[in-house]
Amino acid sequence: MFSLTGKTVIITGAGSGIGRAIALLFAKQGARVEILDLNATDAQAVVKEIEDAGGAAGWQVCDVGDGEAVKAVIAGVQGRIDILVNNAGIAHIGTVLTTSEADMDRLYRINIKGVFNCMNAAVARMAEQGGGVVLNMCSIASSIGLADRFAYSMTKGAVEVMTYSVAKDFIKQGIRCNCICPARVHTPFVDGYLARTYPGQEAEMFEKLSQAQPIGRMAVPDEVAALALYLCSDEASFVTGCAYPIDGGALNLR
């Protein structure tokens, strides 16, 4: 079950965190993984991990906010594009009063326009070839009010609705489109945020953030990757137009 043998997968932002975990797992399951990331060093490191484990992978430096660059990179992928995972994104902390116009523009460019750019290029290929799978990385921020996440929540709400739209518009062309909505996931971003914001109090604040989930901890990237594998596999062939929470009870058990 959950074999991806013979499939080509494009994963954005796969140089670290959740994207890296998805890339490693998908390659383990037989997929050829194409990594799109701004950080060449991180992307190369993940490709080496995959190849050292006997898998197949390639990488390209790509700014997902640049539509022409995205089209060029995706046009260069040989053969079918079976799966697109839109994982690249940036975070922001602030209310409507502490969010600047520049912040809004930066978040829109990556988190919304970046997802659009990749789907625009990949879905066209999928429609021509007779099907494919799109998985967008969303957040529980698209469904509930989170403190100090004004602009970030806006972008994730857009991603969720774009997911439904693509699923609806291309269901007859054999394209499935879903999104995953995690609560807090322990990634390098979390560690960096704690180090910058709470120097000397990292352990205390990490525990506080962990306990914010009813389950009492953060998710780890491998758990999100396992859900991604299911949604992108043939075992999920009847699943489309869905937003899947993976949240430790955050949405319903508060």
Q: What is the largest CA-CA distance in the chain?
A: 55
Q: Are 7 and 33 in contact (CB under 8 A)?
A: no
Catalytic site residue 198?
no
Distance separating alpha carbons of residues 139 and 156, to the nearest angstrom? 6
Distance separating alpha carbons of residues 83 and 29, to the nearest angstrom? 13
- Say which residue the tokens 């839109």 belong to: 86
What is the C-alpha R_g of the chain? 18
Which one of 108, 152, 198, 244 is the catalytic residue?
Answer: 152
User: Amino acid identity, residue 173?
Assistant: Q
Helix (H, G, I), strand (E, B) or coil at 219: strand
Q: Are 175 and 126 in contact (CB under 8 A)?
A: yes
For residues 24-44, b (16+ Cβ closer than 10 Å) or e, as one string? bbbbbbebbbbbbbbeeebbb
Q: Are 138 and 166 in contact (CB under 8 A)?
A: no
Which residues are known catalytic residues? Answer: 152
